[in-house]
Structure 1
């Protein structure tokens, strides 16, 4: 099975280059990009080193002022053109994203659809007001306007690489910045080169978007580089702490979207069939490799056993294999290291006294849909983000206990509550420490137009997306204007 090669992808797959407006060789070694489901090599990718990052950042800084000075309608047209190009190559792009990420085809299709939405959202930013007139004394015009940072460094992960890169790249460019994008080296096309090709085809001026896959040293160089004024990072909490430390020492703005241990509270009056479907979707979608994945299923003690039984039935019916070719419901985990971590968490939790109700085994990188019950605080599956297909069931007796269990975490990304008693569910939700709250849904949700972000170990309190993008990718400049300078007493 060879990699799909559309007019958009063929140059990327065959070039073994990085992108700076042109396709050029990088200084780092070539690495093979392997399809997780088959073990087949999709392409060989050039990797960037610290020298490449330094040059890319300098070039981006030189290109940025002319872009910021370009009229908003001219900039917006480029985003709409990029969206059109993505629409025209939708099927090829969706299949490639699914293959490179080890995902089901519908997940690849979802990423391409959302990337198109993000491009249109970026175009729409440019028709919005870019400032406000402020009250001031007579004879003085006082206003505040949004100014681009200059160069924004974007570091994106492997799990939803197209969406999680594009949601920073597109609004950052729209706001007048240049961008240096370092996608995860496991998904360089989905997270980087595909975006480069879309903007190249749309006529983005050269130098404004630099795409350089690389290892941790390249990411650290981006955080240190004096030409880069902001870092937008999506990834694990551990890596996010390192990014924040290095970028903070260099006085950069940092936007962190990190991990989560997201609770789904199911009250005793919930429809159990619906609740089980929501819990399974939230826990096992994309093999649980989602920051918003349902990490804790908190079920009232009167329904916990029956809910667990329904989840076991669903787990036993789940198929795994090459989901990109629609041969199974679930695909593989991204690599052996992640699989081993998931298995260790499950095994350690069972040894600590939890019950393995279903799953808990694997074939190559394919980890079975797993159900754990009897999980308590202090067990790894309760305390840690698993990032694998593990449904962790915890029982509670009262609403107060549910709230306490849901908040017993360093994370604070998403939370959800299922109950026909909407008022009761909203009262519980008011007390949950989370950046996103869903009543009568599971925890995995994003519509691109909403502020997306968490608190605590899930991020540094900011949000990206929708109305939050102006706040993240620009800074305020206050301007006053008078006809003549005043006569001060000195």
Structure 2
């Protein structure tokens, strides 16, 4: 039987077992064609509360298992992502509009996230502290308890599993709420893998839904940590709600990341690098290169090369054609992209390439002559749009790159690597890539943004231990302590 056989999950959520939730169903739509592929169950606040209660009861036994047994489940999960990669990949192509290469990246990364999470459980989880008293004093990391994971539509498998896997490995139970638009590739796939890997019942629950489901997840008393990936606007609401309930929220939010191209950069490679940064997965990535800051002496050639690259990239149905860009996720996102491009052109920017669409297929777009007032430059587009702006010296480049409410990623292209590093020191971002574009991620690396892009590096490597555990102070004396009372 296929891992993702719809007979198991069609019209359902996983609340201990696969069952129809109380919120009815939502269609699973293929954005490239508009076809309804199936239906997924929609979880309500009532379903969230039931799942949270079951998770809280199951979590202590899972945490008490020998670390070797938890690691074995995570390793099996990694193997299953590899074993069923083609099946999962097909859902990523059809449901999320991913080109095959991007879909393969997700399945490979999902496996790697599980393997890295398996390695977390054998890391030291505490330290011996000095004490002025005659006692042993320890700081120990313990599971947070129940973790709520809210994942977005754009890279649905990776952006769910990178929290689910380490949270489980460290002894927590997890409630996963994927975006309804990608609930199969970003939710069912994760749930089914861990079922087959031998995860005990009730340790992981799948709760597809919208904003109301997410709000219920944040407010559920049993949930102690929220891991949210999504827009900055939604993240502010999640953070405020979590603060009201006195629980931690790890927020990985939007961005409008800059690629700085210095005059000594290799322009042939720069055009390729820049196109990937802006057009990969139709620009629907938080790290997308949203602003191209190019030295004035090379700007004309840069724009010409980038526009030529954009004009040559094929756009179409990734399930039927060999394309570089697939569809954007839905009409609302397409219309937002086009409104930002149109408003920018109306305000004086010039279209060097693109700016048109058919159905949900938006052409890769290059804009020049943008200013602070150009919406496609000033705002996060979340589409395949590359606004190009010039600078004349490094101080101006720093000022332009820093003039944003976001602080996620930064790319710098230069033949002088040390100058690139020195420049990066002056620009506040969570991620920096010298001689590379802004879209990069590895399971072993800390990941996160600052300012409007989130609450810092809370994912990846050892950062996961901080994210999904609490620190407990423990002391022990050889004899009962005497007191003067």
What's the TM-score, normalizing by structure 1? 0.97
Change (3 A) 1:50 1:138: closer
Equivalent residue, structure 1, for 2:242: 247
Matches within 5 A, 1:142-221: 142-221=137-216
Q: Secondary structure at the match of 1:229?
A: strand
Equivalent residue, structure 1, for 2:453: 458
- Out of 32, 36, 43, the position equivalent to 1:41 is 36
- Out of 253, 278, 282, the position equivalent to 1:258 is 253
- Out of 1, 5, 10, the position equivalent to 1:10 is 5
Distance across 1 between alignment mates of 2:16 and 2:221: 21
Gaps of 5+ in 2: none
Equivalent residue, structure 1, for 2:418: 423
Equivalent residue, structure 2, for 1:28: 23
* Cα deviations by residue, 1:69-119 (Å, 9 ceiling, x for unpaired): 111001111011111122211111112112110010111111000000000
Equivalent residue, structure 2, for 1:480: 475
Q: Secondary structure at the match of 2:319?
A: helix
Distance across 2 between alignment mates of 1:317 and 1:88: 35
CA contact (8 A) 1:331 1:366 kept: yes
Structure 1 segments (4+ residues) deviating >2 Å: 11-15, 136-139, 324-327
Cα shift at 1:421: 0.9
Equivalent residue, structure 2, for 1:3: none
CA contact (8 A) 2:15 2:47 kept: no
Distance across 1 between alignment mates of 2:335 and 2:10: 33
Distance across 2 between alignment mates of 1:72 and 1:283: 42
Cα shift at 1:11: 4.1
Q: Secondary structure at the match of 1:186?
A: helix
Q: Secondary structure at the match of 1:486?
A: coil
CA contact (8 A) 1:105 1:326 kept: no
Judge which range, 133-142 or 38-47, deviates more: 133-142
Distance across 2 between alignment mates of 1:22 and 1:29: 16
* Cα deviations by residue, 1:432-480 (Å, 9 ceiling, x for unpaired): 1100000110000011110000000000234211110001000100100
- Out of 96, 111, 125, the position equivalent to 1:116 is 111
Equivalent residue, structure 2, for 1:413: 408
Equivalent residue, structure 2, for 1:315: 310
Equivalent residue, structure 1, for 2:77: 82
Asked if 1:274 is matched to 2:269, the reply is yes
Matches within 5 A, 1:278-317: 278-317=273-312
Cα shift at 1:26: 0.5
Distance across 1 between alignment mates of 2:213 and 2:255: 25
Asked if 1:344 is matched to 2:336, the reply is no
Equivalent residue, structure 2, for 1:381: 376
CA contact (8 A) 1:104 1:325 kept: no
Distance across 1 between alignment mates of 2:482 and 2:264: 73
CA contact (8 A) 1:21 1:200 kept: no
CA contact (8 A) 1:78 1:204 kept: yes
Gaps of 5+ in 1: 1-5
Change (3 A) 1:13 1:64: closer
Q: Secondary structure at the match of 1:371?
A: strand
Q: Secondary structure at the match of 1:475?
A: strand
CA contact (8 A) 1:104 1:326 kept: no
Judge which range, 403-412 or 27-36, deviates more: 27-36
Cα shift at 1:140: 0.8
CA contact (8 A) 2:128 2:137 kept: yes
Equivalent residue, structure 1, for 2:226: 231
* Cα deviations by residue, 1:201-221 (Å, 9 ceiling, x for unpaired): 011000010101011111111
Distance across 2 between alignment mates of 1:50 and 1:340: 31
* Cα deviations by residue, 1:253-291 (Å, 9 ceiling, x for unpaired): 000000001000000011100111111000000000000
Cα shift at 1:14: 5.5
CA contact (8 A) 1:416 1:440 kept: yes
Asked if 1:399 is matched to 2:394, the reply is yes
Equivalent residue, structure 2, for 1:67: 62
Q: Secondary structure at the match of 2:373?
A: coil
